[in-house]
Structure 1
Amino acid sequence: MMPTFNPSHFLSYCQSLYEADSTYDSEQSNRLDRHRHVESDAAQFLANIATIRQPKKVLETGTSTGFSTLWLAYGLRHQAECDFISLDIDKNRSEAAHQHLQNTGLSASVRLIVQDALICLNDNTDVFDLVFLDAERQYYLDYIEGLYKALDVGSVLIVDNVISHRDEVSDFLAAFINNPRYLCHTLDIGAGLFMAVCQEP
């Protein structure tokens, strides 16, 4: 029987997951083997944005084992209709995320898709109200045109690791900072979050 959502269980589950994944990551010498989830305060910020914005369509690129996915689903749980897609290229990590979502009673809220983000963005014809980007940073520049098409007035793009890995993402961020369609802010939350809000079609 699938668990029903319980806020107290959700919060304790996420705390345990955060601690377990942090310990796991600290033991991995190869960064690609790490789960590399967002910091807890950044995940909670995502939930707050999802609650405030009340998006109808959400895209997450970089599910990993689903820590940020859980918090986005938490923020969307009162939405009567919301299409939330989370992408990861690694099937095993997507399956782990599915298990965490099941364990917290949120699995019906998310479509987990195993796919390269660039392929998804290139093929996409939809507009998303909220996009969270937390994938492999060396490919971000390739995502720009696809993201431009996926965002319209009121759409919010949030990018993780923009302070901790500033040099790796600076050119990507400049494509939004220097584009008059967007108002942008860098937030000192977690490893640094960048938020671009689309102001013009």
Structure 2
Amino acid sequence: MASADTIDTLLDELEAFGLANDAEHAERASRMLNITRDTGELLAVLVHARGARRVLEIGTSNGYSTLWLARAARSLGGSVVTVEKAQDKFDMAHANFARAQLQGVVKQLLADAGDVLRDAADGAYDFIFLDSARQQYALWWPQLDRALAAGGVLVVDNASSHYADMAPFLDAIRADSRYTACLATVGKGEFIAVKSGN
């Protein structure tokens, strides 16, 4: 098992790499588009608070956010399924997970998130983190809702910076009486919704 120092060192490296890489590349496909450090800290706190052992991440990129989720889930005896469509980012993340010795904790899927959600069992996940194709979220909503267990937590990145891209999706969640939601002014805005246990 990787030490906390090893994962912290890797997080520092990936944070610096992501910032430098994204400053050099304008094309979205070439950018890492990583979450901010304070967002990672928030995700870890939320995983612990929920006691989440079955975590789904949609949008792996180079694995920076996954490391935050996986370290928290591992401490609870849990695991993370992370979904990425781009082969180059999938491969980069795979190498990073090997360095962090998280192969038994993280399951990578090179797939379309819509397909993964469609195939998920009802209540398959305690915690879902969305950081992907924002325009697809509203289409995915019925399957996201079905895959999220009662008492589960849904976190959506970029909820302030790209609110217009996902407003119908966020509005649908707010209108659902089974969910309690808020917008946390952390990073680029984290929309947090908790599904009732009933």
Match of 2:66 in 1: 69
2:155 matched to 1:177?
Answer: no
Out of 28, 31, 34, which is 1:31 matched to? 28
Distance in structure 2 (CA, Å) of the matches to 1:78 and 1:29: 37
> Could you give the per-residue CA deviations for residues 16-42 of structure 1, whole angstroms, max 9, x where no partner exists?
210111100111121222111111110
Gaps of 5+ in 1: none
The answer to whether the 8 A contact 1:49-1:75 is kept is no
The answer to whether the 8 A contact 1:182-1:198 is kept is yes
User: 2:105 is aligned with what amino acid?
Assistant: S
CA deviation after TM superposition for structure 1 residue 200, in Å: 4.8
The answer to whether the 8 A contact 2:73-2:79 is kept is no
Could you list the structure 1 runs, at least 4 aligned residues long, displaced by more than 3 angstroms after superposition.
Answer: none
Distance in structure 2 (CA, Å) of the matches to 1:95 and 1:108: 17
Query: TM (normalized to structure 2)?
Result: 0.95
Distance in structure 1 (CA, Å) of the matches to 2:144 and 2:9: 34
Out of 90, 96, 101, which is 2:92 matched to? 96
Distance 1:56 1:13, change over 3 A: closer
Out of 175, 191, 194, which is 1:194 matched to? 191
Distance in structure 1 (CA, Å) of the matches to 2:168 and 2:20: 32
Match of 1:166 in 2: 163
Match of 1:110 in 2: 106
> Could you give the per-residue CA deviations for residues 126-175 of structure 1, whole angstroms, max 9, x where no partner exists?
41100000001111111111011112321100000000111111111011
> Could you give the per-residue CA deviations for residues 32-63 of structure 1, whole angstroms, max 9, x where no partner exists?
22111111110111111112222121110001
Distance in structure 2 (CA, Å) of the matches to 1:49 and 1:98: 24
Query: What RMSD over aligned residues (CA atoms) do the two structures have, in Å?
Result: 1.3
Query: TM (normalized to structure 1)?
Result: 0.93
Query: SS at the partner of 1:111?
Result: strand
Match of 2:11 in 1: 14
Distance in structure 1 (CA, Å) of the matches to 2:49 and 2:69: 12
Q: Give aligned pairs, total.
A: 197
Query: SS at the partner of 2:39?
Result: helix
The answer to whether the 8 A contact 2:50-2:152 is kept is no
Gaps of 5+ in 2: none
Distance in structure 2 (CA, Å) of the matches to 1:123 and 1:106: 24
Of 109-118 and 30-39, the range deviating more from structure 2: 30-39
Choose between structure 1 and 2: higher strand proportion.
Answer: 2
